[in-house]
Amino acid sequence: MRALHCHPSTPKRRQAGFSMIEVLVSMVILMLGLLGLAGLMIASQRAEVEAYQRAQALLLLQDISGRISVNRRVALCYAVTTDTSNGTPYLGTGGTLPSGCALGTLAADNLANSDLSAWSNLLQGAAESYKDSGGTTNKAGAMVGARGCISFDTASNTYMLSIAWQGVAPTTAPISSLNCGKGLYGDEKLRRVISLPLQIANLA
């Protein structure tokens, strides 16, 4: 009697086919995972930049608050914002310094003018700078498009210190009362603003 021989070629081909499908499915899953990881990294970097800019803005608010408190006798010299509906004029990116203050002693007025100039430079990033390939010095130590507004409310005897800058991605537009830098960043959902009220005690 002849022995029966099995032909394993068909099962082998089936096994090889299943193996290829498994590899393709694994590759698709891996690609989806990598895309998700890339999206997570981008979101994390955006959040990091936003947090850095907000931290810088808080430091600059504390800076000008301290300057005004030290030179409190001519605090009105620091109120550079005249139109609180749109936050102009302002200091920082594209802003202009006031012509000068003459409310107190010469020393106090000069200090106020110097403080405003220094704060405007800080808003433009003067704290950190770099030179490009052409040797030009560029300021890079502040928020993107930073602008500073200082207004005074006579009714409450309160100074409102505000800083506006451009965020990384659109979010919710600032509330209507925060007008510093309004209309200067294109989409209002890109404008970020933080404010700090300041009351000056009368120590006389």
- Residue 17's pLDDT band (boundaries 50, 70, 90)? low
Q: Calculate mean pLDDT across residues 159-182.
A: 93
Quick one: tokens of 100? 């000068």
Cα separation, 144 vs 147, whole angstroms:
9
Strands in 95-190 per DSSP E: 129-131, 137-139, 147-153, 158-166
Task: Identify the residue whose tokens are 């970097």.
Answer: 45
pLDDT score, position 9: 53
- Given a cut of 70, whether residue 10 has pLDDT beyond it is no
Q: What angle is formed at CA 91 by the lines to CA 180 and CA 60, rounded to 5 degrees?
A: 80
Question: Per-domain residue ranges for the chain?
Answer: 13-198
pLDDT in tens, 60-113: 999 999 999 999 999 999 999 999 998 999 999 999 999 888 899 999 999 999
Quick one: tokens of 201? 């005690």
- Residue 130's pLDDT band (boundaries 50, 70, 90)? confident
Report which residue type is found at 133. S
Q: Calculate mean pLDDT across residues 114-142.
A: 83
* CA-based torsion, 93, 99, 103, 105: positive or negative: positive
- Given a cut of 70, whether residue 168 has pLDDT beyond it is yes
Strands in the chain per DSSP E: 91-92, 129-131, 137-139, 147-153, 158-166, 191-198
Taking 3-state DSSP, the helix, strand and coil percentages for the chain, each rounded to the nearest 5, stand at: 45, 15, 40
Quick one: tokens of 190? 């890109």
pLDDT score, position 87: 92
* CA-based torsion, 97, 101, 106, 112: positive or negative: negative
As a residue count, the chain comes to 204
Q: Calculate mean pLDDT across residues 46-64.
A: 93
Yes or no: say if 163 and 180 are a contact pair by the CB < 8 Å rule.
Answer: yes
- Residue 117's pLDDT band (boundaries 50, 70, 90)? very high
Q: Calculate mean pLDDT across residues 132-142.
A: 75
